[in-house]
Amino acid sequence: MLEGKKVIIIGDRDGIPAPAIEECVKTAGAEVVFASTECFV
């Protein structure tokens, strides 16, 4: 599903942080163009 796609990741500090999502989508063949974890509290 993500093979060859460009991905922007916004992680959540109290949910799934960006580096964890990044590792997952990379294994699915996506190119991460931006990844950042944000704090909403």
Partner 1 sequence: MTTPVVKGAAYVLVHTPDMVMHYGTTCSSEHEANPNSEFLKKVPSHLRTFEEAVKYAPNQAYIGNILPDELNNIPRPWYKNLMEDAKADGKMGEMLSQDELYIVMKLCDAFDLVMLEKSFSDAAKEKISKKPYFTEAEIAKIKDGFDISEIESKLAEGAEPLHYNGKVVGCVKAAHATDKSLTAHIMAENIATKATAVIATKNLLYKNNISPDSIEYVIECSEEACGDMNQRGGGNFAKAIAEVAGLVSATGSDTRGFCAAPTHALINAAAMVKSGLYKSVAVVAGGATAKLGMNGRDHVNKDVPILEDCLGAFAILVTEDDGVNPVLRTDIVGRHTVGTGSSPQAVMESIITKPLDKNGLKITDIDKYSVEMQNPEITEPAGAGDVPLANYKMIAALGAKRGDIDKANMPTFIKEHGMPGFAPTQGHIPSGVPFVGAARSMILDGKINRAMIVGKGSLFLGRMTNLFDGVSIVMEKNPGKAEEMGAVSKEEIKGMVAETMKEFAAFLLNRK
Report how far residue 37's alpha carbon sits from residue 14's, in angstroms, rounded to the nearest whole number. Answer: 10
The yes or no reply on residue 8 touching partner 1 (CB under 8 A) is: no
Nearer to partner 1, 3 or 14 (CB): 14
Considering the complex, what minimum distance in angstroms separates the CB of residue 4 from partner 1?
25
Cβ(4)–Cβ(32) below 8 Å: no
The yes or no reply on residue 13 touching partner 1 (CB under 8 A) is: yes
Give the H/E segment covering residue 36: strand 31-38
- Contacts with partner 1 by CB under 8 A lie at 12-20, 36-37, 39-41
